[in-house]
């Protein structure tokens, strides 16, 4: 793997970073790298009326803590879910600010074939903002029409355990019984990607840009 000192993971919504890059986050923090995670929406508009509106923000912080992300290295913006295309320039401005403040070696964001409208904005504006960084697209199969698994990150079981434990912090999402928010799915996909590189566990990524 090319040398990474600073990783920035861009998540359109809270939980996207863990679902797509939770294993990588756990591994790089274990190896002593600086990891930053930024979410652009806590999806307050999608939370049931009887649930506190800051639920996902709290769950995000708990999840990041389980992965080992430092409090000062995590942030959630206030964009409304499914309206990112209306705020493309503001999001780009925020990304440029992040670029100037963090100067990451590697950026992970949704892949180019992710059909969710908010994810498409983060992918496209992320490519614009981080021209001086290597950029990888993470895998969220339920949102994708296609996926080019061009980079594999070998992981140990403890990294997948940590990823799943972080996701379990999202009690509000687990309660919705989504098929991708289960241990069977998380461990199954990691085993599949590991099998492709003759390892037990892995995550796969699309190459957007690699700077060597």
Q: Return the exposure string of 159-176: e unless at least 16 CB atoms fall within 10 Å of the residue's CB, then b.
A: bbbbbbebbbbbebbeee
The rounded distance, in Å, linking the Cα atoms of 130 and 105 is 10
Residue 30 lies in a domain: yes
Of 15, 55, 22, nearest to 39 (Cα)? 15
pLDDT value for 48? 74
CATH of the domain at 205: 3.40.50.10320
Domain count, the chain: 1
Domain assignment of residue 162, yes or no = yes
Q: Is residue 202 part of a domain?
A: yes
What is the pLDDT, as a whole number, of residue 70?
A: 98
The tens digit of pLDDT for each residue in 177-208 reads 999 999 999 999 999 999 999 999 999 999 99
How would you class 97 by CB atoms within 10 Å of its CB: exposed for 0-12, middle for 13-18, buried for 19 or more? exposed
Residues 6+ apart with CB under 8 A from 27: 153, 155, 156, 159
The whole-angstrom separation of Cα 109 and Cα 20 is: 8
Q: 1 lies in a domain?
A: no
Q: Span 9-23, mean pLDDT?
A: 99
Residue 37 domain boundaries = 6-209
Cα distance between residue 136 and residue 106, in whole Å? 8
Note whether residue 188 is domain-resident. yes
- Residue 200 confidence (pLDDT): 98
């Amino acid at each position: 793997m090319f040398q990474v000192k600073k990783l920035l993971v861009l998540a359109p919504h809270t939980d996207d970073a863990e679902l797509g890059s939770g294993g990588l986050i756990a591994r790089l923090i274990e190896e002593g790298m600086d990891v930053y995670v930024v979410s652009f929406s806590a999806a307050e508009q999608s939370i049931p009326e009887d649930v506190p509106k800051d639920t996902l923000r709290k769950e995000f912080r708990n999840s990041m803590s389980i992965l080992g992300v430092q409090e000062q290295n995590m942030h959630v913006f206030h964009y409304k879910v499914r309206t990112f295309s209306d705020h493309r320039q503001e999001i780009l401005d925020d990304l440029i600010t992040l670029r100037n403040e963090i100067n990451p070696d590697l950026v992970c964001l949704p892949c180019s074939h992710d059909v969710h409208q908010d994810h498409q904005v983060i992918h496209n504006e992320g490519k614009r903002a981080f021209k001086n960084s290597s950029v990888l697209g993470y895998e969220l199969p339920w949102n994708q029409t296609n996926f080019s698994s061009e980079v594999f990150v070998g992981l140990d079981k403890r990294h997948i355990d940590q990823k799943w434990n972080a996701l379990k912090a999202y009690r509000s999402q687990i309660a919705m019984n989504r098929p991708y928010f289960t241990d069977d799915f998380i461990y199954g996909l990691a085993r599949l990607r590991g099998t492709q590189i003759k390892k037990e566990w892995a995550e796969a990524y699309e190459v957007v840009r690699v700077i060597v």
